[in-house]
Structure 1
Amino acid sequence: MANVTEGYTFRTMQADDYDQAIDLWNGLDGLGLSEADSPERIARFLQRNEGLSFVCEHDGSIIGTILAGHDSRRGFLYHLGVATAHRGQGIAPRLVDKALSALLREGIDKCHLFVMEHNAGGQRFWSANGWEKRDGILLYSRGLELGSNA
């Protein structure tokens, strides 16, 4: 279901959107990409979290994205990004609202997100939009290669 506002169209993200999305993400400062952002993994993420991620289009091109998913307890947001030329139009807050509304419909009532430490613009955006920076939580990560001592 598409939603049009002031020349911008908001709709649910599809796996077919990958090429335009990755081009956008690669052009944004502060957005961290990894192997988890391959076409196959993004398609699997979108399928597992159907209807929770969104894009914004302008003149047929994707100029904004947000990925959203949940683990049945908490929601998580990833890859909120808006092309530099389209910032200041309210696109990012609208994408966030759409993702949070979709999570609420799934029964998710709390959401987390990750911001790279060097992403000052991202930190300003989230703080200005009512998100609270958490202290006292450390993030640990580990690859799950076959044969590891898991």
Structure 2
Amino acid sequence: MKTLLQGRVEFVELTDNWSMKVDVKWTKRWFTTSVTSRQLHLKSDFESCALTQAHVLSFISRSDTFNFSGKKSAYSELLLESVETQCLMDSKNASIKLEGKCLIFKGSVRKKDINSLSNIFKLIEMLQNNIDSLDSTTSRS
């Protein structure tokens, strides 16, 4: 990735409860990452919702501002309150969606910042664990 000015890598990784489809594109300056994580054993589908950056409001208020669209649920509340989500939303043009049984993240980081790229995968894994634990507590109720 460091020697090529631009390129693309796609792969799928399976874990115990999740299937992750990863698509990373890079240019001279940016890594653009798209991760679609599908929960294999989720009891019911997620209520569709999305969290995106509000560019105009962020520019006016000079602080990070986000738009939430879709239906509220226990999972969307988890997204809104999670520290992992806040860190993921620090990426350029970041968005996080829940659709069907999938958690979808899209965002970009600078090519010089390899640590942020690896942190994206760690944060998504932590968010998946939070969803798993919420799913197990709601299925017991």
TM-score with structure 1 setting the length: 0.32
Q: Higher relative contact order at CA 8 Å, sep ≥6: structure 1 or structure 2?
A: 2
Please identify which structure carries the higher strand content.
Answer: 2
